A and B are shown apart, each in its own frame.
Chain A
Amino acid sequence: MKNQLHVLRAERDWTQATFANRLQVSRQTVNPIEAGKYDPALPLAFKVAKLFDMTIEQIFTPDDETL
C-alpha cells in the first residue's frame, strides 16, 4: 500500500516522534507504515485520516500487489 504520510507529515513539520505521539502509537509503528512496509488496520487508518482531516483513500492508495 502506498501512502502520502511522509509528505503530509513534512508539510506540518512533524517528526516521526511527534506524529507517533499524536496517534498514540510508538515511533517503531509509524516508521514501517510510512515506508509502506506495514499496512495499518482500519481503526489506525481512520485515526490517521482524522488527524490529517482527510479520507483514508486520500492518504492510502492500493498498489498492484494489494489489488
Chain B
Amino acid sequence: MMNDLKEGAEARMSFWAALSAGCGTPEDRKNQLAFVCWSVVWVLTLAAAVFYLENNPEFQDPAAWAVASIPIVLSIGIVFAFLRFLRNADEFIRKIQIEGLAVGFGTGVVFGIGYRILERVGAPEMSASDLVVVMTIGWMAGQIAGVWRYR
C-alpha cells in the first residue's frame, strides 16, 4: 500500500520537485556550486573594479587597465566552471541546459536587435549590461520551460 502511494507520488513528480531535482547528482551539485562561486566572485570583483575606477578618475592608464582586466580574467573561470558542469551532467540535464541557453541566446539576439529599432522611436537607450540581464532571464525561462515540458 505504502509502496503504491510512493509510486503514485513519483509518477506525478511535481513541477517544483522536478525543478529541484534539476540540481542533479551530487557531482552536478558540486559543479553547480563551483559555477555559482565563480559567478559571485566575478560580480564582486566587477563591482569593486567599477567602484574603484569611478572614484579614481586620475588613475594612471596601466594600473586602470590591470584593475579593469581582473573581472575579465575571472570570467574565463566562469566559462570553464559551466563547461565542467555541462560535460559531467547526464544527457537530460544537458538537454535542458542547452535548450535554456538557446532560448537565452535567441532572446538576446531578437531583443537586442528589436530594441535598437525601438530606441529610434524614443525608447530609453539600452546598455550592454541590460542585454546580459535579458539573456540571463531568457536562459532561466528556457530551463524552467524545459523542466515543465518533461515533468
- A binding-site residues for B, Cβ under 8 Å: 6, 10, 13, 15-16, 20, 24-29, 31-35, 37-38, 40-41, 43-44
Q: Mark B4-18, 1 if CB is under 8 A from A, else 0.
A: 001100110100001
Nearest chain B residue, comparing its CB with the CB of A21:
B25
Contacts of B77 in A (CB 8 A): none
Nearest chain A residue, comparing its CB with the CB of B18:
A28
Contact check, A44 vs B22: say whether CB atoms are below 8 A apart.
no
**Known interface pairs A10-B7, A13-B3, A38-B150. Does A28 touch B93 (Cβ–Cβ under 8 Å)?**
yes
Question: Is B61's beta carbon under 8 Å from chain A?
Answer: no
Q: Mark B87-121, 1 if CB is under 8 A from A, else 0.
A: 00011110100000000000000000000000000
Contact check, A41 vs B150: say whether CB atoms are below 8 A apart.
no
Interface residues in B118-151 by Cβ distance below 8 A to A read 147, 149-151
Contacts of B21 in A (CB 8 A): 26-28, 31
Contact check, B10 vs A16: say whether CB atoms are below 8 A apart.
yes
Contacts of B6 in A (CB 8 A): 15
Which of A15, A20, A28, A38 is B22 in contact with, Cβ under 8 Å? Answer: A28
Contact check, B91 vs A29: say whether CB atoms are below 8 A apart.
yes
How many residues of chain B get a CB closer than 8 Å to chain A's CBs? Answer: 22
Contacts of B23 in A (CB 8 A): 26
Contact check, B24 vs A28: say whether CB atoms are below 8 A apart.
yes
Contact check, A29 vs B93: say whether CB atoms are below 8 A apart.
yes
Contacts of B18 in A (CB 8 A): 28, 31
Q: How far is the CB of A27 from chain B (nearest CB, A)?
A: 5
Which of A15, A40, A43 is B10 in contact with, Cβ under 8 Å? Answer: A15
Q: How far is the CB of B11 from chain A (nearest CB, A)?
A: 7
Which of B7, B10, B25, B91 is A31 in contact with, Cβ under 8 Å? Answer: B10
Q: How far is the CB of A14 from chain B (nearest CB, A)?
A: 10
Please name 17 pairs of A and B residues whose Cβ atoms are closer than 8 Å in the assembled complex, sorted by A.
Answer: A13-B3, A16-B10, A25-B91, A26-B24, A26-B90, A28-B18, A28-B22, A28-B24, A28-B93, A31-B18, A32-B92, A32-B150, A33-B92, A34-B11, A38-B95, A38-B150, A44-B90
